[in-house]
Structure 1
């Protein structure tokens, strides 16, 4: 069943002619006939537009699930508002949901009565992480609670910001509770292994019953004193013009408690531990203070103690860096500040905390003012303004690419770039929607190489490497000549092979001399979207947002610097997938090689690549059309660069695994584990053991030393429902390595589901959605069909609408586009099209938590979500 947005009814006006006749008995002389007036011929019917049929399937990942009672009136309704009605979910999972206080949020199913609590029941293992990202944290607040089976609260995260995080204390069955403190908001829950634990640690190190408060009235007048008394607080320290140390009086007076607890008052009764209750009341009172007009700042009085904090908070989530053996390469080189990688893309968020200080002066070469998005043409400012007019959220593509190359490492926040000691040259050549022209790109390349260009200037020194995570044009002799000149001058050029899932040559990646990079997923397999063919030179991690193989609760996309602009710009860390993400891994490794051996020419690099010195061979032995000469290996590449200097390097064999964590979820299929000699010299595999009887390893394709591909197998027979973990240990003649394995028995949460999904047919010429189809999940698949579609240029966009605001792809909602969300493909419709299948995924990001980030707003970035679901009213066509 389907709703058509554009209906056309044709009315034909028909003229009828009448004649004379006889009136009965008497004969009369009839008057002479009168000539009929001339009748114009009927107007020609307008030409009938031939309509076509479009069919396909939107696919949700098996690691995704949805809250049973979102605000969307079309999604299935299964309330989970109490401990007794808790919704069973899987582990690991990424779950999208919605909560609201009565009368808050968008109009919809839960607006009037509210949906204050969502409860979820699942099996968890000690050390797993539960992270909640609150979509509308600037206007709403939601908290995270962990209950045991007896209904007692055993932990909570009740901050006032964007992220709440908990670490599971023991193995067992637990209930996770998302609770609306104020307003209404979408949220995302990421539940899995090895997630960042630093975010949850601070709340456990507070001084109970104390708060540090700065009043707007710095002299602490009678008005502010009354506000303090209202919450049963008294001053213990501080003074005028500086913060005050306030002591909360312990009390059982329900009047004071109700003022402190607000809407969370019922939670207090479920907390049995005295220490836990003290922490709860302290943090809740601070939350209450933050919403008080008289208070400018309120925060806990933290206990200061020495404990280890990882340098880069989200490094463990960057599975793609160990995959190319980067940590071993960093032992030798992290990048030289004199080595520069030019990123020709959408520009950069230059003040992102993980990019500030990491770049050199660049340029903006988007000359078309209508396409530029920043109000002018060519200028020296390569800042990315985001997509202000193009449908869909801004990807900040260039910022993501730049972060993969050179985000600051070892700085205590966020992520690390491949060559974080080198520098990025941001060159903006793509404007609105990530679209640009080949001429603008050529001008940016000329600038990067120190050649004459339309800016009238050149950089102080040419870039060592140029990264081109872009493509789409046909072969051009002029462009080939430009690349010949750039490469002859010594600049290494790296380009994304393309996301066309075909072997058709993509440019600029397929030009002679350019290193074309295909994409692999977390399993070192060619990604489903990746282009391939005779022009592919090398492979690198591009990721797959539709899987969670390592079970960390996050999609297996590439995590890097980015931004979120739902209302205002916020610096963040986002997961994207594509060959656009693979290319900067290669570019970063090239920067590491140039850092240890500045004299390496592009021809030298190609010789080393063809000889196998820089890669791990994947696929058939030798070069192939999927992986080129293999997947780039950072450690091998740095060693090869050192060897090229004539230095004698000592053989240091070292066993490495393709993954240190494997998560089966409820899958039966074996998972592949690659055993690799990531060092130099020889090593042999001596022993492989597993810690559990249900876990085994079998060889698949190995050499005489035991290196190669193995299958990791599980056997669920005779195992009770639950979540299980085990270890595989591999002993080589050089070292011992371990891989953790997780799997579940039973699927309490059912099949993949992101709620109702709305598929929009978007007219690129008129820049509007012209048709909508809505569907609910059947085994994680959403079939759709559009009929009577006129010829034209279209995009297919799909997403959920948990908050029922009539916009899909908001923060906390699933989103997808054919063929990929990062680079939607224009559908040239001149015939029926079938099999247009594409994934829909939650757009997960890790917010930046530095203080500087909270004040970053710009009027130019104020925008509302653009992809509208409805055009003709609330009625929806739904397939069930």
Structure 2
């Protein structure tokens, strides 16, 4: 019954294109191999001649008569001299031919001759798999992915970044132009944006996301995800035929506001099914930012992909560490973690991030009708994320029935976990997600499983954290995202010496695709150590998910212990007060405390140098008005 359900699920979810189809064969041609016998295959061949005659087989040919036979010191060797090719009537079924030949007792196998297709290689010179500069395409198995799908122009990837050079030879035909609102001074499509024909500049609030500064970051990331393939020029983007929507969120000259989250909403509302965010900042969790990400991912069903950061530490980096966001860290050309890359339990997967060759657009002095033709190498998680965005777009085209949540699961579960076997990654077990992106495997078939804890609720709830000696419960909700799963168990352990788990087993059982279960009837039960806990300690709890057929995965949830601050709520105003009298935060990174907010707004004081507004040791100049154009938190592109 379980097998039947699985087959029905495959047929329903994947459609005809999701199950691996048999490769084409040469009609009327078969090969068979004689079982091992004497020194030559002559005697065995005589035994099958009657069978060949009954099949009306002709053209009997020894495939490899001059090959070297194995010697006694090669027990795993093969004797290719025993393989023969025959021609049979095209109407003869393989099943009948196999039955007749195997009945002779001397034939090991009978097979058709498959026609194997070459891995697709676009004609862009820099994308050549052996001599081209885009080494990462081979590493992430993009050429094989393009055998299954080359994307589609209807699939749009929102690129929230600096401006781009849409005059570049590999970008200008890849922009998703809004023909419903041509540049005529009117809001023809009624979406509230006048003349947003080729995206929008949220940093300067205009309709021209053209890069004119000194950082070509937006052009570089856009080329990785959507550089025009098969145009005989330059590079090939991972998304191949997929289009991109340029959305400028940083000013060219550093005097305008940051508009990243506004751009995310715009992208989601304007049909982008994948949104790339190669930017972010460490610490400073924001409910507003999380809400934006939730809206785009859940309400609008967009896959959000973000760079995990270029700080080589275990830390939370936003937006990558938010819920509903695919966090991407960086590796080098040998699959080792890049020296600069952030790592954490919130990372979902990794992709190459060193010397990524892409479109540049440095020639800012070119005439308006000129075409940019320059390219450049860059490093950073900024250039890992768009590879995953391109892969997400290909998965969405290949399997349009998948939700954004399922696309993320497919990318995670098809990644190459073998990178953890490398000595260079030994210290990062569990900190590089499920492994390195493998686009070819992601688009090949829907044959993966992933169950995931989607909600963790602590009882009693505590905004600040738990004090020494506290006891609390944890309710987990798990959702099955891909193939039906059975025998699912979620075991909770503590990675902190300050938290003990007394009841740590949740038996979820069998779950159909997209079904959920929770442990409200028997929650996890935990206690906090009574003494010895440093203030504001973060304790990490580990979910280990196992199921039948060998499935297993890991997730993590953090809880704050022994907080030295309280969150005061007075009507519309909410602020953190620390034991030292500081307001908003008690550290420069903005990680201790919940800030100051008004009417549930984003934090109003989230810059590290303003953390102690009323602290006696703070200077009056520390919280001077920020420089024009400075964002409400330290957000930077991840180059």
- Taking structure 2 as the reference length, the TM-score comes to 0.44
- Pick the structure with greater CA Rg: 1
Judging by fraction of residues, say which structure has more helix.
2
